[in-house]
Amino acid sequence: MKVLITDPIADAGIDRLRDDGHEVETAYDVEGEALLDAVADANALVVRSGTEVTEDVFEAAPDLLIVGRAGIGVDNIDIDAATDHGVIVANAPEGNVRAASEHTVAMAFATARSIPQAHIRLKDGEWAKGDYLGTEVNGKTLGIVGLGRVGQEVAKRLGALGMDLVAYDPYISEERADQLGAELASLEEALDRADFLTIHTPLTPETENLIGEAELAQMEGGYVVNCARGGIIDEAALADAVDDGIVAGAAIDVFADEPIDPDNPLLDVDDVIVTPHLGASTAAAQQNVATSVAEQISAAGAGRPVANALNAPSIDESAFPRVKPYIELAETAGKIAIQLFDERIESVSVDYAGEIADEDVEFVTASALKGVFEPLEWQVNAVNAPSIAEERGIDVVESKTRSSEDFNSLVTVEVSNGEESVSVCGTLFAGDDPRIVRIDGYRVDAIPHGHMLVVRNNDTPGVIGFIGTVLGDNDVNIAGMFNARETIGGEALTVYNLDDPVTDDVRATIAADERIIEPYYISLNGTIE
């Protein structure tokens, strides 16, 4: 793959990409038309916070498979646009967690003890010992906004120093908070009780300006630390609160606009400590996030799950070998089902029976949806298939059952309009040999090959011979065949594996026979491997 890197990352990540056989091109500080030109033939894009990855970028990069963010925050990436274009967005949430949490702790101490201010005055020749009376953290209450990875690490460190922990996070369980020694509370209660407030949430429409004038007024005499994302705290309100003595001090590493505007009011307040977005700036963190992103890009290129995909199903790397054959099987079952269904679809059901029901099957379900939508000529992959279903009002139902008649595992994909439906069941023989074993309840044993003909017909003598003759007369070779029926003389279904495609004229010739109910030509665009 061609990998374009538009923000500097550690050499370890670049080396890993090249070792994996990728062509790596760096184009730092490109923007506008230059960025669109640079990404036009890229298969992967690696960024940090400097590159804005917009709808225009995805429009300009038809071959783009993945955007990797070497870090946590992805507010510079239009994830909705990425999903619409079937592009994976992945970040590196673990690589700089320790660095960000340690910087938060350092900033808390720095503001509580006025370390930078005292340093500057001493450097200027002043012995200002009597001007600084610090605050100890022991016995104080730490309010944590966002108890995710970084918030949890901060909780562990400052909790170990004798701080009481109160956290606001609507997306974490009480059990997990209890394990960390933190009490869950509303934002208002956390602000009321906090002597120190640390921020650890992403910037979203819900968190933008989450902490404003009214919230800061609740923290009278307290300290505010933000090493997460700019824009979560109203900067003008914070500057006023500190300047007026409502808030004792603040330490800020991130800003709404970066690099920071020289007129930013935070720069004019002595008791506000600022650093230029250094939270992840350690050698270890930069190496970690660079290699993490490189690994995910290689995984995407090889068709493996992407561990930290933000807009695509993911799966643990250790479980992938067990699930991989079913990913392809489900996609094929979806392709067959939709090509056998002549109606507008309103729902897709994916059922897992047997041993596969014990696995994480989110990626398998997404692949089944990809199979359903692909023959309809939508630009679809496992990334955007779930969102395509949602956009088009198609219900998706996933179910599991531990028991499976006759097979160790069975995957069934059913498409329906509420009144009529078609179901296709697949399994694996000998571990990884795919088979279609049922079509609408008919027992078959069909190898999912590139070309298939599925014929519903009356169970009368000579039908199979007739179909074989028509195919032979048109130079279509039969690679395999399986016939099933309801009852003697009733309706039958026959699956033909073919070496060649079936034209509309050939299908029309078969359909013209009064014994034929309906012939369906199924194109699978290749063989499951």
Write out the catalytic residue numbers: 229, 258, 277
The DSSP output letter for 265 is: G
Distance CA 98, CA 375 (A): 46
Spacing of C-alpha 426 from chain mean position: 27
Half-sphere exposure at residue 420, Cβ-oriented, CA atoms within 13 angstroms: 8
- The single residue listed with the structure tokens 């919230």 is 215
Contacting residues for 278 by C-beta, under 8 A, at least 6 apart: 103, 253
Q: What is the distance between the alpha carbons of residues 160 and 138, in angstroms, rounded to a whole number?
A: 9
Closest to 151 measured CA to CA, from 106, 200, 105:
200
Distance CA 81, CA 90 (A): 14
201 phi, psi to nearest 5 deg:
-115, 160
Cα–Cα distance, 287 to 32 (Å, whole number): 28
Which is nearest to 382 in space by CA: 8, 63, 65, 17?
65
Q: Name the residue type at position 235.
A: E
Strands 272-274, 196-199: pairing kind: unpaired
Of 322, 294, 321, nearest to 308 by C-alpha is 294
DSSP 256: S
3-class DSSP state of 349: strand
Pairing, β 451-458 against β 516-523? antiparallel
Residue whose structure tokens are 């977005």: 277
365-402: b (≥16 Cβ within 10 Å) or e: bbbbbbbbbbbeeeebbbbbbbbbbeeeebebeeeeee
Q: Taking the CB of residue 21, how many other CB atoms lie within 10 A of it?
A: 9
Beta bridge partners of 24: 3
In angstroms, what CA-CA distances link 277 with 107, 215, 406, 416, 504?
12, 24, 59, 52, 63
